[in-house]
Structure 1
Amino acid sequence: MWNQNSVSKILGTHYPIIQAGMAGGVTTANLVSEVSNSGGLGTLGAGYMSVDNMKLAIKEIKNQTNQPFGVNLFIPETPIVNEEQITNAKRLLEPFKKELNLTDNSSFSELQTEFEKQVEVIFNEKVPVCSFTFGAPSKELVKELKKEGTIVIGTATTVEEAVINEENGVDIVVAQGSEAGGHRGTFLDSFQHSMIGTFALVPQVVDAVSIPVIAAGGIMDGRGVSAALALGAKGAQMGTAFLTCIESGAGASHKRAVLESSEIHTVITAAFSGKPARGIVNRFTREMQEFESQLPPYPIQHALTKRLRKEAGKQGIPEFMSLWSGQSPRLSRNISTKDLLISIVSEVEETIGRLNE
């Protein structure tokens, strides 16, 4: 059976399908638990979460499923703070804030990472699976997590990043292609040099490491999962496919934007966070495009636009929201998580059967 392989055995899931840990409120306890209850691996995107909210979400997930689930954390970054850049960024954001009737009282409190405390929660709550993005977890951290029985997943956007993850001891590595929505996990080279498509990246990573590889980036259905398996991956990670599910915490405007968009409507932008990310093009990305090189890096710009994005979401104004999406929005569906998993599994089996005819 295609679904019982090294990844599903390591994770303890029925299918080697992982719901990506999308940060920012998309991965509700309902979404995560429904994915796990349906045979995949649900993942809580905890990158931006406070320790208290993270604990609460994990407890809610445990109350809703007895199946394995994961938590995704961001390896902390320490940018150089340039006051001139910050002043310029605030000036550029002012017209958008005025339209939303927002006063500028931006705070940099979220620059103080709670990564160490978040890791403590992983230990204390005995989280079954922990994945990392924006860097490779240290050998020491991986060793401690595995000692407690936690499965560790790394993220790579190049072969070299995958090799580093393996050297540091992770159990599984996600090979994340350039088609992926939102922020990708690039950490070794420049973003521009790491824009390798999923079909090109996955087989090269498979050949370079001995641990199981998960394919990610633009995969939306069973055809994509089948293609990933054909390339040598042992499973697939999917983000945008779950973003438009009923249980997703994405706002109605965000879901609608993805559901109504096509492959020509996504753009790579650093305007919202200071780190390049793929989303649906809107007025904010268009008007800020020429100024991106002047903006402060992540997570400073992310902090500066936080209230703007939040207020735009409250007011239902998608033109000022970060509408993260992968490159296959035409394939998105507004259905239940359970129905999506059933559909994906059926499509994989149908595709494999067709290839065997």
Structure 2
Amino acid sequence: MLKAREIATAAGTLACAVGIGFIMQNGDTAKERYGAQTPVLDAETVQADVISAVVNADLVLEVQDITLTSAQTAPLPETSDVTSIGADTGVQLAAANDALETPVQPDVVPLPSCDIVASAQAAPGAMIELSLSAPCLPNERVNVHHQGLVFTQTTRNDGSLTLSLPALAQDATVIFAFSDGDGAVTSASVDDLDMYNRTALQWRGDAGFQIHAREFGAAYGEDGHVWVGAPAAQGDLMRLGDATVAEPFMAEIYSFPRMSSTSEGTVDLSVEAEVTRANCGLEIEAQSLEVSSTGIKTQDLTLAVPDCDALGDFLVLNNLVQDLKVASN
């Protein structure tokens, strides 16, 4: 990983539930880990190998070791297809020509195509409906890249994958990248993105990160507290990534429909990390992405998690992402 320059924290340093400090790093760390500068993949798909079945159509059956037998009965009828060996011997030889048939050629069954094909379609709510077909890559992990966001998914038994993704750009490009270098690129135009505020957080492995949104003064556990355990109120939260694979890239995206809100006030946003046996005593990293009219703002986070005697506690980072100011419509 590239060494990141430490960013000095200003007044109002992020507050933690148990008083744990953290280091804000520059964008070099995230560009390496999460692919903020997404490489351009070759959109040309992989061509499947075609195996030809070779059939020897000129096969000749050799007749050897012809056995002569004595005739024990009257001569065969003239209509019999026989060849006389000798008139005075009474020995007859059955003709072998009719037994020589052209061998049957086996059917050539074409192998299925191994082309990797992706498609994207804009959907209501500034969403993208994604579809991937990779017939020769069943049950395979694949990283999905979009505007600097990356998360890990797994294809089905037939190599297919479908998912919904909150768009982070109107001209939305999505890249599917397999570990062997194969992949596919697709895109869609998302015209209603400007009607939504979006904040994303991404990390790797079982770091324990969560986005919490408390809409219009809602307390923890009340209506209007949106997080992965209660993912919808006026705003909505989606978690992306397959947590069952080893060291997956994970992400959460909080969306608020600012153009159709019936309320006025503030949506308090915080990034939190629960102390678990998977992260206690370790240093964990994440990156936030905030969509605005000027583009995507990113911030990097390195956080020292307390030792395992603090299991179940939460580190609350109130200023990593900006609160949302909402006017009623």
Larger proportion of strand: 2
Structure 2 length normalisation: TM-score? 0.25
User: Which of these two proteins has the greater Rg computed from alpha carbons?
Assistant: 2
Larger proportion of helix: 1
Structure 1 length normalisation: TM-score? 0.24
